Amino acid sequence: MKIILGKILPFFLILFTTFLSAQNLNIVEKAIVRGNCTECEERIEKAAKSADATTADWSPETKVLKVEFNPAKTSLEKILKKIAAVGHDNEQFKADDAVYKKLPGCCLYDRDEIMAELLPNKTKISTEVLKNPNVLVDNHSETTEKSQNIEGITLMKMQDATALNRKNAGLTYNISGKELLKAACCNLSESFETNATVDVSYSNAVTGTKQLKMLGLDQKYTAITQELLPQVRGLSAAYGLNFIPGKWIGSIQLTKGGSTVVNGYESITGQINTELLKYAEKPETAINLFVDSNLRTEMNLTSTQVLSEHWNQSFLIHGNGTFSNEDSNNDGFLDQPKGNQINVAYLLNYSDLDHSGLMSHFGINYVKDERNGGQKGYDFQKPQNTQSLYGVGINTSRFQFWNKTGYVFKDKPGQSIGWMNQVTFHQQNSSFGLRNYDAKETSYYSNLIFEGILGNTNNKFKTGASFMYDSFDENYLTQNYKRNEIAPGIFFEYTLTGVKYTLVAGVRTDFHNLAGTQFTPRVNFKYDISPKTILRLSAGKGFRTANVFAENQQYFASNRTIEIKNNGGNIYGLKPEIAWNYGASLQQEFKFLNRKSSVVLDFFRTDFTHQVLVDLYQSPQKLIFYNLEGSSFANSFQAQWDFSIYKNLDFRLAYKYYDVQANYISGKKEVPFIAKNRGFANVSYATDKTDKGAFWSFDLTYNLVGSQNLPTTASNPQEFQLGQKSEAFSTLNGQIAKNFNDKFRLYLGAENITSYQQDRPILDAKNPFGNYFDAGMVYAPIMPVNFYLGVDFKF
């Protein structure tokens, strides 16, 4: 029998291959090929065709080669061998060093990346996600990044915990789930403690909330989005960062400077976009349990499941509670409020790009958050006016529903259309001693985007229309403030891609019923001086309407009277805020101790033509709002060096300089609570993984914060005065984690290890109903070292 089969099988193989050849039945294969530019594209495709490929299509953005060939004439192996012969490494063959070095400068690609990491799952390469992030954003695993080339193929590649996007014309950092594991990251406000670009600080001494600053300005000037939909804005400005649990975040994209006009008009200093966890390659359920030394406890449950060939879903559940009565500085006030939060979300995703070209994403989210702070012993079951102790209560409920639907035109490369819609209901009822602040907001956002090409894929455009509706109903003390903001808008953005450069230029016009017609241009330019040296330039305009109560709640825990100087505007009597932002950055990659290293230098300037100033200089008993008369600017310089001196041992060093000034009524002054000089250092180390996926990881972050201008307190009695400037201080955070396998992780960490605490974070704490009480003068940590313990399960 073996002899017969040995003679018959070769005959049938020859007959079969002859039949394939006669029928001209070609097959299609995909492979990763290294290269940089359109010149590489021409060389690679020419080599493939010289190896008898019928067609060849290689993308500089994704590095993916798609070839069609007759298996009777050639093979993928022969094609890739031919491509390596002309100087391009690929997943099967490495080019000869001498041939590689003779390539033009623009074609000298990075040979240090491990080829296997470029494509962990090639079989899914054409079916994962719609590539245009402005239509739909889909999330894979915690260590993947997505291509933004809509007509190409999504490339999933292993990336660093934080990586600067080399392809993006803007200065954009991709922060993966790997980076978020380095700290407690209980919510979005704590997700940047190992990142040098964003400054994190407490907003006041009684609410326990943290605020972000970027480019030296408050977070209200940064567009904070979720799934590229507006998120932390309006009434959620003060506490909205706490409503995005860290364990829900798949990745973060952080852009410094003016972002794309496609995403709206509110971005002035940049954009922070978070992507929620979604189904990746297989169903996964994860549980996280967390507790710290202040009895802050958390539980997170995330589950991603496939429903059918085209449908998958995600359940995201978060609950937290704080139960400690800690008063570490003995001022009579709780270091952080007690309370709890219930946060649930459901995501439903449909994807059929390969056949119908359609993809859709639905989401629904509900948050109930309650926090109670103030003096120890305060009874929150009784009204404030029946008690002598001072209490703070903040109760928030929030509901959101959103949908993003996209369609890729199958017969028209580079052409797609997407429509995004979101409805938000937000309600806050709060009291700060005898002051009440109750507010409701109803918002609707819609964005319709069409993307196409002009002649070829080097000339792309996006155009469309957006609509924003906000209804505010606020009650502060005895006054009511109501307004409706309606802002339809149109936009156009053009992207020109050359061998060494990328230009993204866009304009939008918004017809705001209260702020008037606003024209917003933005431009980003990237030039590859060499494969290792990248220059970026940007300029753009942004505008926003100030929500003076919601955005300044950190000062409600004081006895300052609020005064709004009517400047003839339509929003609290104030005019909108308008600013220009200009930026330049230089990215240089090089070898340090024979290992990869990079330095990024960037400078940004923000010039306000209109601004709502928050004046704390007039009197320590007043909080005054008025429109800017004169100049207001923020200069920001940052130098960052990322390097490694040993396998799995990574360092990040950064220095930041801020110069932020404004013309107040009393003259030009530095904006308070902004340190001119800041230093940052992070070191992380991980042991090699065992066969079972076990390893240790260690992380340490040091922050040096220089002196800051403080608001005036000179008219207070001596014992309730602060100096004109704060003292410099430093903090140290650290974490040790043990992954026992790819399903179980245990971590132990500490924040503010040096236990540095601000002296007197609350002025006149013993008399909270007196004229000099103020809990909003916070410039440094208010709690000593805080230890935490957490555990992650996956199954």
Q: In what order do the strands lie in the sheet with 199-202?
A: 199-202, 210-214, 217-218
Q: Is the pLDDT of residue 222 over 90?
A: yes
Residue-level length of the chain? 795
pLDDT digits (tens, 9 = 90+) for 456-489: 888 999 999 999 999 999 999 999 999 999 999 9
Distance CA 117, CA 133 (A): 23
SS3 84: helix
* Of the candidate ranges 19-28, 160-169, 421-430, 570-579, the one whose mean pLDDT is the lowest: 19-28
Q: Is the pLDDT of residue 658 over 60?
A: yes
| Predicted pLDDT of residue 189 | 86
pLDDT digits (tens, 9 = 90+) for 388-411: 999 999 999 999 999 999 999 987
147, 714 Cβ separation under 8 angstroms: no
Confidence of residue 14 (pLDDT cuts 50, 70, 90): very low
| Crossing angle for the helix pair 76-85 and 38-50, to the nearest 10 degrees | 130
| Predicted pLDDT of residue 441 | 98
pLDDT digits (tens, 9 = 90+) for 291-320: 999 899 999 999 999 999 899 999 999 999
The mean pLDDT value for 752-757 works out to: 95
Q: Is the pLDDT of residue 110 over 70?
A: yes
Q: Is the pLDDT of residue 663 over 90?
A: yes
| Predicted pLDDT of residue 138 | 33
| Predicted pLDDT of residue 609 | 97
Distance CA 347, CA 303 (A): 10
SS3 199: strand
Q: Which of 532, 432, 506 minimizes the C-alpha distance to 170?
A: 506
The mean pLDDT value for 495-520 works out to: 95
The mean pLDDT value for 54-69 works out to: 87
Distance CA 675, CA 213 (A): 11
List all residues 6 or more positions away from 424 whose beta carbon is below 8 Å from its beta carbon: 398, 399, 400, 441, 442, 443, 444, 445
Q: Is the pLDDT of residue 141 over 90?
A: no
Confidence of residue 259 (pLDDT cuts 50, 70, 90): confident
List Cβ<8 Å contacts ≥24 apart for 586-591.
Answer: 586/533, 586/534, 586/535, 586/536, 587/164, 587/166, 587/533, 587/534, 587/535, 587/536, 588/532, 588/533, 588/534, 589/110, 589/532, 589/533, 590/532
Highest mean pLDDT among 256-265, 358-367, 640-649: 358-367
pLDDT digits (tens, 9 = 90+) for 522-576: 999 999 999 899 999 999 999 999 999 999 999 999 999 999 998 889 999 999 9
Q: Is the pLDDT of residue 235 over 90?
A: yes
| Predicted pLDDT of residue 733 | 96
The mean pLDDT value for 30-47 works out to: 89
Confidence of residue 135 (pLDDT cuts 50, 70, 90): very low
Mean model confidence pLDDT for the chain: 88
| Predicted pLDDT of residue 117 | 46
Joined together, the tokens standing for residue 679 give 């230093």
The mean pLDDT value for 693-703 works out to: 95
DSSP-derived pairing of the beta strands 577-592 and 612-615: unpaired
Distance CA 301, CA 319 (A): 9
- Is the model more confident about 354 or about 70? 70
| Predicted pLDDT of residue 112 | 67
User: Considering the chain, what percentage of its residues have pLDDT values greater than 70?
Assistant: 91
Helix (H) or strand (E) holding 310: none
Distance CA 700, CA 703 (A): 10
Confidence of residue 144 (pLDDT cuts 50, 70, 90): very low
Distance CA 160, CA 184 (A): 19
Confidence of residue 3 (pLDDT cuts 50, 70, 90): very low
- Is the model more confident about 168 or about 729? 729
| Predicted pLDDT of residue 279 | 85
pLDDT digits (tens, 9 = 90+) for 590-612: 999 888 899 999 999 999 999 99
pTM of the model: 0.83
- Is the model more confident about 278 or about 229? 229
CA geometry: angle 514, 516, 517, nearest 5 deg = 145
Q: Is the pLDDT of residue 139 over 80?
A: no
Distance of CA 67 to the CA centre of its chain: 36
Q: Which of 309, 315, 395 minimizes the C-alpha distance to 348?
A: 315
Confidence of residue 113 (pLDDT cuts 50, 70, 90): low
Confidence of residue 27 (pLDDT cuts 50, 70, 90): confident
The mean pLDDT value for 618-630 works out to: 95
